[in-house]
Amino acid sequence: MPGSATAATGQFRYTYTTAEGYEAVGFLNDPPSGECIDLVGPGSAPGSVSRAPRNHTDATATVFLGSDCEGDTYYTLLPGRGASERLLVRSVVFS
């Protein structure tokens, strides 16, 4: 019998720059747990990096500089915490 899907409750936010050079905020509402999510801002250049993640969920978020939650550069955000504008991210997974 398959298990039920779990999700983090709340919102995860990040900042990105559009292809036109404007600052924008992206967000994930109640993101799934245990699944890698690539952070792609609408209208952003392909492969661009996001920054300043804010974890307003009830789960721990691990953000990665690399896509597909890969690479040795990552940072863990506890529930309700954010990081500085300098933290660059391309993907996130919630636990």
pLDDT tens series, the chain, 95 aa: 444 457 899 999 999 998 888 999 999 999 999 999 999 877 777 778 999 999 999 999 999 999 999 999 999 999 999 998 899 999 999 99
Residue 54, number of CB atoms within 10 A of its CB: 18
> pTM (2 decimals)?
0.88
Q: Is 52 left (phi over 0), alpha (psi -120 to 50) or beta?
A: left
SS (H, E, C) the chain: CCCCCCECCEEEEEEEECCCCCEEEEEEECCECCCCEECCCCCCCCCCCEEEEEEEECCCEEEECCHHHCCCCEEEECCCEECCCCCEECEEEEC
Domains present along the chain, CATH in parentheses? 10-94 (2.60.20)
How many Å apart are CA 54 and CA 20, to the nearest integer? Answer: 24
